[in-house]
Chain A
Amino acid sequence: MPLRRGGTLVLHCTAPHQGSGRGLRTGDGVDIGTMIRRGLDRLLGRGEGRADSRTVYVGHGAWSPAQPFTPPRYCDNRIVSSKYTLWNFLPKNLFEQFRRIANFYFLIIFLVQVIVDTPTSPVTSGLPLFFVITVTAIKQGFEDWLRHKADNEVNKYPVTVLDGGRSTRKESEKIRVGDVVEVLEDETFPCDLVLLQSSRDDGTCYVTTASLDGESNHKTHYTVPDIETDLLLLNATLECEQPQPDLYKFVGRMYIRREGQEPAVRSLGPENLLLKGATLKNTSKISGVAVYTGMETKMALNYQGKSQKRSVVEKSINCFLVVYLCILLSKALVCTTLKYVWQRQPGQDEPWYNQKTQKEKDTDLYLKMFTDFLSFMVLFNFIIPVSMYVTVEMQKFLGSSFITWDRDFYDPQIQEGALVNTSDLNEELGQVEHVFTDKTGTLTQNNMEFIECCIDGFQYKYGNCASELDGFCVEDGPVNKLQRKAGREREELFLRALCLCHTVQVKEPGPGLGPVDQVDAARAVEERGFIASSPDEVALVKGAMRFGFSFLGLDCMKMKIQNRNKEIEEYDLLHVLNFDPVRRRMSVIVKSEAGETLLFCKGADVSIFPRVREEEVMRIRTHVERNATEGYRTLCVAYKKLSTEAFAQADASLREARLALQDREEKLLNIYDQLETGMNLIGATAVEDRLQEEATVTMEALQNAGMKVWVLTGDKMETAKSTCYACRLFQRRTELLELTVRTLEAGGQKCEGRLHELLLDYHRRAVQDAPPAKGGVSRSWSSAVQDYGFIIDGATLSLLLKPPSSRYTSLFLEICQNCAAVLCCRMAPLQKAQIVRLVKNTKGSPITLSVGDGANDVSMILEAHVGIGIKGNEGRQAVRNSDYAVPKLKHLRKLLLGHGHLYYVRIAQLVQYFFYKNLCFILPQFLYQFFCGYSQQPLYDAAYLMMYNICFTSMPILAYSLFEQHICIEILMDNAILYREVARNASLRWGPFLHWTALGIYQGLLFFFGVHCLFRNPALQDNGQVYGNWSFGTIVFTVMVFTVTLKLALDTRHWTWINHLVIWGSLAFYVFFSFFWGGIIWPFLKQQRLYFVFANLLSSVSAWLVIILLILLSLLPEVLLVVLRKPRASHIQQLKMRSSARKHRDFLSNTGVI
C-alpha cells in the first residue's frame, strides 16, 4: 500500500496485514511450521514485493480524538512451544504414535486376533503393544509438560507497562502492540521494542544479544531522536515493516504530532529496535513501544520448531520393515493359495477324522479365504517383533548414558560433562558426512590478543623479553623494535590511530570508584575494561595501551587519550564511518587540539591498499601476508589530513545522507567511498583469535574421517578465513574459490550473470578437471592434487537461492563436495539453517552435523541431523536446543570417532540381528505349513512364541549393543580413517541386509529340514516310544535359540563379564524355563502341550545329536567367513599393532599364523 509520505494523515495498513498474517495469528493453535516457512519465504525473497507494513499507535493514543480508533489486531505476546494441551493429548498422541508404521502394524495384528479365530491369542500381541504405547505416551507427555512450564515462565514474567500515565505490572503475555514498556537493567526485553527513552543522558542504551545471535558484546541502541521527554505527551504513530526474521534489518518511520504542527517524521532503523530476548546492560531503565509481539518477534521468527529428528538407522529399520512386511504378506498369500489348491485334491478338504463344524461349513468360501489369510498373517507376525522397538529404545536410552558418564568430556573449568538431550541419534554420530561449525566461540575462543604490528614496514612485537627467543627486543622501549625503528613520529601517529579509530567504549565506572586522578587514569581504564562490538577492536586498543597510548574514553563526543608522556590529548570526534562488510573498513574523522582534521581508517588489506600510495603498500604487504597465513587477523591503518573545505563538504553530505529516507545506506556508502581515498598507509596490525584447544587436531581428525567441514559464521570473511587457515582447514596450497559480494562486483556486470559465470568456472576447475574421484566410501581417500576451498557469503548465498539462480545450487553443491573445506561468512542464523538444509537434501541425503555455541547457531543445530552444542560462555540456548552438548570442541573427536562409531556398529548389528533371528524363527513355522495341511498350526508352543524375543534372545543382543567395542575406543580415535568404514550407513545397506537374510533363510531351512529328516522315524527313544508335533517344534526351537545366541557370541569381540552373564545366562534360562514350563500342569492353560516334552527330549540321544549337529552346521558358514575374511581385514590389526607395541607382541604370539 502506498504511503503518503509526510502527509497529514496516515493510512493505516491493517488490511494487508490481515491478509499476510493469516499464519501468524498464533495466540491459539500455534503453527510454528508456518512461521518458519514464512520466515524462510521472506529470506528467500518469495514474500518480497508485498506492500507490507504495520502501523503502531504509541501508547494506543489515537491520531485525532475525532477519528474513531480501531486498534488493529495483532497476536498477543505469548510464546507457545508445547505440542499438546490437556484435552488433545490422548487423541493426538495416540494418533502420532500409530502413525509409526510398526505400531500401526501391531495394532492391526491385535485387532485381527480379536476378531478372527487365529492360532494365537490376542494377548500375545496386545499386551506388548499396550506396554510400548503407554511408556511412549508417558515419556512424551512429560516432555510436553516441561515445555508448558518453560513457556509459562516466559509468558507470565511480570513487566511494567505505562498505561495512561500509570505504570502497571502486567504479565508478559498480555503486552499488546503499541504498549509502552519499561525495562530495567539486566532484564530481558519481553517483545520487540522501539526505543523511546533511555535513562542515559545521551539517548543511548546498551544491549547484549548473546541469546539471539551469540554476540556477547554490548551494542549501542539509540532512542528515536528529538521526541518528548514525557512519554505521556507523546502523540505518535509508528509505521514499520511486517515482522521478518532478519535480526539486523528494520525499517520504519515515526510520525510525531504536536499541536498545531505538521507531523515530524523520524526514520527508524535497526539501531532503534530492541529485540525480544536481548538484555539491557549498563543502562538503568529504558522505555520502548512494542512493535512486534509474541510469535511475531524476530526471536520467535528465528526459532525453529524442534522437529522430531529421525536417524538414518530408523529409516533403514522402516525400510527393512517394509521388506519383511512383504515377506510376511507373500508368505501368507502363498500359504492361503496353496491351502485351497491342496484342499481341492480328493480326500483332503474334510477327511472323516477331521469334520468341520456346522458354522465352518456355512461360511462363505471367500470369507474363509480371507480369514485364512489373516490367520497366516497372525501366525507369521512374529517376524516383525514388537520387542525390537523396545530393545532399540532401551539401547538408545541406556547407551546414551555412556556419553554422559564419559570423564573425557568433563571440563574442570565449567565443572560439567557432556549432556545428552536426545538419545535417538546416538548412531547418527557415527555417520556424519558434513560438519557445519560455527566459528566464534566454537573454533575460536573469541578472545583476541594483539600480537604484533608493523609501522612503515618495520615489525614491532610486544613481548616479554625473557621469553623472546630471537633477542631482538629492546628493554624499556615502549615500542620494541626489530631490526630498525620507524621514525618516532610515525610510531606515535600509528598508535594514535589505533587509539582513535574504533567504536570501543570504556565500561561505566562502578559505584565504588571515585574520580580518578590523571596519572592513574590509564590503569583505571584498563581495570574497568572495554566494551566493543568486535573483540578485535578491544585487542587493538589494549595493544596500543601496552605501547603507551591509552584510550581513556569518549565524553561528549571528545575522545581522550593518554600519550606516552602521560599527557592527556583530546580529540573531537566528528564522524564515525561505520564498519560494514562490503567496504570492510571503518574510519573516524577527528579534530585534534591543534585544529587539524584527521581521518583515520583501518580495514582489511585488500580494501585499504587500493586507497593508498603504491610505494607504501610495498613496504607493508609482505608483513600482512605473512601474518595472514599464520592465521592472524590483520588490519591496515591509514590516515589522511582533511582540509577545512574538504571536511565541510564531507560533513554536509554526510549529514544529508543520514537523514535521507530512501537509499540511505547507498548514499552513505558513496560518501564514505569518496572520503576514504588518497590516504597514507601507516602500518598494519596482527591480532590473534585464539583457537579452541586442539581445534586443529580435531578438524584434522574430522577431515581424515571423511567429513567435509563447513565453517558457517556471521563474522566477516577475512577473520573467518584466517581462522580457517589457523586450524588447517585451508592450507597454503589450497586454492580458494571465492563467491562473495566482492567477487561478484568485480566483474562489473549484473550480479546474477557474474554469479553464474563464476559458478561455471569454479565447477570446471573443481569438479570437471579434478581427477575422477573414486566412488563410494573411498571417494575422499584420494587427496586431490589440488585442494580447493570454497568461500561464500550470506548475500551471495541468498542471491544463489533466489529463483533465477536456483538451478545453479546443484553446481554450487557439487563444487562444495569437491572442496576440502567450505567457508560461509556473513550468515544470518536462518541462513545457516538454510545451508544445512541445502546440503541435507542433496542426492544421497548426507548426514549433517552442526556444532555451535551461541543462540545464532540454534537454527542450524535444529536443522542438521545432529546438533551439537558447545557449553561455551554465550548462554545456554545452543545447549538447550542441541541433541548433544559437550564442553569443548575437542570433545567432538571422541564423540564422533569413538562413541559415534561404536554406537553405529552396535545398533546396526542390533537391527540386522533382530531381523535375522526372527526370520529364522518364523521360517520353520512357515515351512511347517506345508506339512500340516496349511492349517496355521503353530510349530512352537505359545509360550515359546511369546518368550523368544522377550526373554530367550533379547538380553544378549542388548548387552552386545551396549558394550560391544569391535575396535577399542583409543584405536578408533587415533585412526580417524576407521570412521570411513561405517560411512554411508555401511552396515545397514542392502548388501549386509541380504547377507543376514540369507543367513536367516539358510539356518531356518536347516532347522526345519534337519529335524524333519530326523522325524521320518519319530521313534527316537531307546524305549521305542514316539515323539509328537510338540517335540518336533521344541527341538527346532532349542536348536534355534542356541544357534542365534551363539551366532551373536561369534560376533562379539568384546566379552565383558556382562556379556558372559547374559549369553550363557539366557541359554541356561532357556533350558531352565523349558524344564519348568513343561514340568507343571498349568491350571490356566487349556492344553498342556509341552508337559514333559522338553525333559523327554533330553532323554533321547538322537535328539541331542541332532541338536549339536544342526547348531554346528548352521554356524559353520559364519565361522568360515570370519576366519577367511581375516587376512583381508588385517589392516585393522596393523593399526592395532602400531598403536601399542605390547599388543603387537601379544598379537603375534596369539595368532601365530598371520
Chain B
Amino acid sequence: MKSQQAANRPDNTAFTQQRLPAWQPMLSAHFVIPGFLLIGMAFIGIGVALYITSQNIQVLEKDYTGTGQYTACSECADMQTIPCICNVTFSLTTLFTGPVFLYYGLSNYYQNYRKYQVSRDDVQLWGDVTKSPGDACAPYQYIDNKPIAPCGSIANSMFNDTFSLYQIINGTMKLVPLDGKGIAWWTDYNIKFRNPSAQGSLQDAFNGTMKPVNWSKPAYELNPSDMNDNGFLNQDFLVWMRTAALPDFQKLYRRITSGDYALGLPPGDYVLQIEYNYAVKDFGRKKVVFSNVTWMGGKNEFLGVAYIVVGSLCLVMSVVMLVVYAKYKFADENA
C-alpha cells in the first residue's frame, strides 16, 4: 500500500515542483542608473583615447589609377606598354613615425564575389599539386589538361603591381628598404599554406603543372631570391589569398622596419616607383597607402566617435531615467 502510494505520488523535489531556488533579478533604477552612469563614463574615456590615438595615426594615400582626377601613372593607364613603370612623388614635412606600413588599395573590386571567393583549392595550396584541382577553380582549373597551380580565380588575379620607394637626398635616389616579411598571417604562412615537396628544387615540385593564365611567371618564381618566400609561401600571395570583406579594401604590401628608416620616414622628398601591371580602370581604382599603426590598428575614427556617442547616450539616459523615476516615485507616494 505504502509503496504503491510512493510509486504514484510525484516526487517532491524542487525540480519537479518548479521550486528550484532562483535568482530573480530586478532591473531597477537602483542598479541601472548608476550602471549607465559608469558605462557612459567608461565609454567616453575609451572613446576619447581611441579618437586621439586615431588622430595621431599618419596616413598618406596616393591614387595611381592614372585616370580621372588623379593624374599619377596616367601614362600607364592604357596598359599599352608592358612593363610600364611610373613614379609617384610626394614630400613629407614631418617625420612619418615608424614603423611605416605600405598598403595597396583597390576599390570596387569584388574579392568577396561568391564564385570568385570559392575559386581556390585549399588542398592544393597545402602542398598537394599532384591531385586534380577542385571544380570550384573553373575556369582556371586546367590548361591543356594540365592542372594549374595555384588554380582558381583568386590566384589568377593576384595583384602584381610592384612598388619601390626612394628618398631623394640631394638629387640622388636612396632606396628605402621594404620588408616583405610578416605581412601575412602567421598561421597562413606556417600552417595553412605549404609548398609541394619534392626531391630537388621547388621547380621540380611544380612539375607537371601550369602557371595561372594571368601570371607572367610561375609560382616557384614569385620570389626566387628567398626560398622561404617563394611558391605558395610567397607572402604577397598569402595576403592576396585572404580575400577582402568589402569591395573597397586595402592589403598590406610591405613594412618599413629596417635601416635608416626603422624609426619612420624622415621629412623630405620621396619617389614611389611603380611597375604598373594590374588593370583596374574598367571597374575601379587603385591606390597606395602609407600608414603607421597603433594598438588599435590602422586609422579608424569610427570606433572613437562611436564610443563617445554611446557613452554620452548612456549618460543622457541615466539622467532621463532619474527624472522619470523621481516623478513616478512622487506619484506613488501620493497614491
A residues near B, CB below 8 A? 119, 346-348, 351-358, 401-402, 404-407, 409-410, 412, 415-417, 931-933, 935-938, 963, 965, 969, 1010, 1012-1029, 1031-1033, 1050, 1053-1059, 1081, 1085-1088, 1091-1092, 1096, 1100-1102, 1105-1106, 1109, 1112-1113, 1116, 1119-1120, 1122-1124, 1126-1127, 1130, 1150-1154
Point out the residues of chain B lying under 8 angstroms from A935, CB to CB: 110, 112-117
- The reply to whether A405 and B244 form a contact with Cβ atoms under 8 Å apart is no
Min Cβ gap B180→A in Å is 13
- The reply to whether B39 and A1112 form a contact with Cβ atoms under 8 Å apart is yes
The stretch from B81-89, B267-275, B301-309 touching chain A is B301-309
- The reply to whether B282 and A346 form a contact with Cβ atoms under 8 Å apart is yes
Task: Choose one: A1031, A1092, A1101, A1150; the contact of B296 (CB below 8 Å).
Answer: A1101
Min Cβ gap A375→B in Å is 9
Point out the residues of chain B lying under 8 angstroms from A405, CB to CB: 10-11, 16-17
Min Cβ gap A1117→B in Å is 10
- The reply to whether B21 and A1056 form a contact with Cβ atoms under 8 Å apart is yes
Task: Choose one: A353, A1091, A1150; the contact of B28 (CB below 8 Å).
Answer: A1150
Point out the residues of chain B lying under 8 angstroms from A404, CB to CB: 10
Task: Choose one: A1022, A1087, A1120; the contact of B295 (CB below 8 Å).
Answer: A1022
- The reply to whether B329 and A1154 form a contact with Cβ atoms under 8 Å apart is yes
- The reply to whether B245 and A1028 form a contact with Cβ atoms under 8 Å apart is yes
- The reply to whether A1056 and B20 form a contact with Cβ atoms under 8 Å apart is yes
B169 within 8 A of partner (CB): no
Interface positions of B from 131 to 160, Cβ below 8 Å from A:
134, 136, 138-140, 153, 156-157
* Given the contacts A404-B10, A1153-B28, A1088 and B192 also touching, CB distance less than 8 Å: yes
Closest residue of chain A to B7, judged by CB? A415
B277 within 8 A of partner (CB): no
- The reply to whether A1105 and B50 form a contact with Cβ atoms under 8 Å apart is yes
Min Cβ gap A986→B in Å is 21
Give 23 pairs: A residue, B residue, CB < 8 Å, sorted on A: A346-B283, A351-B283, A354-B113, A354-B115, A355-B139, A406-B18, A410-B8, A415-B4, A963-B20, A1015-B246, A1025-B182, A1026-B251, A1029-B245, A1057-B20, A1087-B120, A1087-B122, A1102-B303, A1109-B306, A1120-B321, A1127-B324, A1127-B325, A1130-B332, A1154-B325
A1100–B99 CA distance with the chains assembled, in angstroms: 18
- The reply to whether A1122 and B27 form a contact with Cβ atoms under 8 Å apart is yes
Point out the residues of chain B lying under 8 angstroms from A1055, CB to CB: 22-25
A963–B29 CA distance with the chains assembled, in angstroms: 26
A1020–B246 CA distance with the chains assembled, in angstroms: 14
- The reply to whether B298 and A1017 form a contact with Cβ atoms under 8 Å apart is yes
A49–B274 CA distance with the chains assembled, in angstroms: 102
Point out the residues of chain A lying under 8 angstroms from B201, CB to CB: none
B72 within 8 A of partner (CB): no
Point out the residues of chain A lying under 8 angstroms from B115, CB to CB: 354, 356, 935
- The reply to whether A1153 and B293 form a contact with Cβ atoms under 8 Å apart is no
Min Cβ gap A1043→B in Å is 14
A409–B153 CA distance with the chains assembled, in angstroms: 69
Point out the residues of chain A lying under 8 angstroms from B12, CB to CB: 407
Min Cβ gap B26→A in Å is 6
B300 within 8 A of partner (CB): yes
Point out the residues of chain A lying under 8 angstroms from B248, CB to CB: 1016
- The reply to whether A351 and B110 form a contact with Cβ atoms under 8 Å apart is yes
B279 within 8 A of partner (CB): yes
Mask: chain B, 181-221; 1 = CB below 8 Å from A; 0 = not:
01111011001100000000000000000000000000000
- The reply to whether B32 and A1119 form a contact with Cβ atoms under 8 Å apart is yes
Task: Choose one: A1024, A1088, A1113; the contact of B298 (CB below 8 Å).
Answer: A1024
A1092–B4 CA distance with the chains assembled, in angstroms: 59
Point out the residues of chain B lying under 8 angstroms from A1120, CB to CB: 317, 321
A121–B77 CA distance with the chains assembled, in angstroms: 42
- The reply to whether B192 and A1081 form a contact with Cβ atoms under 8 Å apart is yes
Task: Choose one: A417, A931, A963, A965; the contact of B246 (CB below 8 Å).
Answer: A931
A347–B283 CA distance with the chains assembled, in angstroms: 5
A468–B257 CA distance with the chains assembled, in angstroms: 109
- The reply to whether B191 and A1081 form a contact with Cβ atoms under 8 Å apart is yes
Min Cβ gap B238→A in Å is 10
Task: Choose one: A409, A1086, A1151; the contact of B134 (CB below 8 Å).
Answer: A1086
* Given the contacts A1081-B126, A1086-B136, A1124-B324, A1025 and B185 also touching, CB distance less than 8 Å: yes
B255 within 8 A of partner (CB): yes
Point out the residues of chain B lying under 8 angstroms from A1153, CB to CB: 28-30, 325, 329
Closest residue of chain B to A407, judged by CB? B10
Q: Apart from A407-B10, A1032-B246, what 19 extra A-B contacts exist at CB < 8 Å? A: A347-B283, A356-B115, A406-B16, A410-B10, A1013-B302, A1013-B306, A1014-B302, A1022-B293, A1024-B252, A1024-B255, A1026-B244, A1086-B123, A1088-B192, A1102-B300, A1112-B39, A1127-B331, A1150-B28, A1150-B30, A1153-B30
B247 within 8 A of partner (CB): yes
Point out the residues of chain B lying under 8 angstroms from A1126, CB to CB: 27-29
Closest residue of chain B to A1123, judged by CB? B32
B71 within 8 A of partner (CB): no
- The reply to whether A354 and B17 form a contact with Cβ atoms under 8 Å apart is no
Point out the residues of chain A lying under 8 angstroms from B50, CB to CB: 1105
- The reply to whether A1096 and B114 form a contact with Cβ atoms under 8 Å apart is no
A1013–B192 CA distance with the chains assembled, in angstroms: 29
Closest residue of chain B to A410, judged by CB? B9
B51 within 8 A of partner (CB): no
Point out the residues of chain A lying under 8 angstroms from B119, CB to CB: 354
Residue among A347, A1087, A1106 with the highest chain B CB neighbour number at 10 A? A1087
- The reply to whether B246 and A1012 form a contact with Cβ atoms under 8 Å apart is yes
A1056–B18 CA distance with the chains assembled, in angstroms: 10
A1054–B18 CA distance with the chains assembled, in angstroms: 11
* Given the contacts A933-B113, A1020-B297, A1020-B298, A407 and B9 also touching, CB distance less than 8 Å: yes
Min Cβ gap B11→A in Å is 7
Residue among A348, A1025, A1105 with the highest chain B CB neighbour number at 10 A? A1025
Across the A-B interface, give the 10 residue pairs with the lowest CB-CB distance, nearest first: A353-B157, A1019-B298, A1032-B245, A405-B16, A347-B283, A1127-B328, A935-B114, A1056-B20, A1029-B245, A1092-B187
- The reply to whether A1123 and B183 form a contact with Cβ atoms under 8 Å apart is no
A353–B317 CA distance with the chains assembled, in angstroms: 50
Point out the residues of chain B lying under 8 angstroms from A1086, CB to CB: 121-123, 134, 136
Min Cβ gap B192→A in Å is 5
- The reply to whether B28 and A352 form a contact with Cβ atoms under 8 Å apart is no
Point out the residues of chain B lying under 8 angstroms from A402, CB to CB: 16, 18
- The reply to whether A1016 and B300 form a contact with Cβ atoms under 8 Å apart is yes
Point out the residues of chain B lying under 8 angstroms from A1054, CB to CB: 22, 24
- The reply to whether B8 and A415 form a contact with Cβ atoms under 8 Å apart is yes
Task: Choose one: B18, B245, B331; the contact of A1018 (CB below 8 Å).
Answer: B245
Residue among A415, A1019, A1088, A1124 with the highest chain B CB neighbour number at 10 A? A1019
- The reply to whether B250 and A1109 form a contact with Cβ atoms under 8 Å apart is no
Closest residue of chain B to A1151, judged by CB? B28
Closest residue of chain A to B103, judged by CB? A1019
Interface positions of B from 1 to 48, Cβ below 8 Å from A:
4-5, 8-12, 16-18, 20-30, 32, 39, 43, 46
Point out the residues of chain B lying under 8 angstroms from A1029, CB to CB: 111-112, 117, 243-246
Interface positions of B from 58 to 103, Cβ below 8 Å from A:
99, 101, 103
- The reply to whether B156 and A353 form a contact with Cβ atoms under 8 Å apart is yes
Point out the residues of chain A lying under 8 angstroms from B319, CB to CB: none
B291 within 8 A of partner (CB): yes
Min Cβ gap A897→B in Å is 14
A1057–B14 CA distance with the chains assembled, in angstroms: 12
Point out the residues of chain B lying under 8 angstroms from A357, CB to CB: 138-139
- The reply to whether A1050 and B245 form a contact with Cβ atoms under 8 Å apart is no
Point out the residues of chain A lying under 8 angstroms from B174, CB to CB: none
Min Cβ gap B103→A in Å is 7
* Given the contacts A931-B246, A1026-B252, A1014 and B10 also touching, CB distance less than 8 Å: no
Point out the residues of chain B lying under 8 angstroms from A1026, CB to CB: 103, 239, 242, 244, 249-252
Closest residue of chain B to A1103, judged by CB? B297
Closest residue of chain A to B326, judged by CB? A1153
* Given the contacts A1112-B310, A1123-B321, A1017 and B28 also touching, CB distance less than 8 Å: no
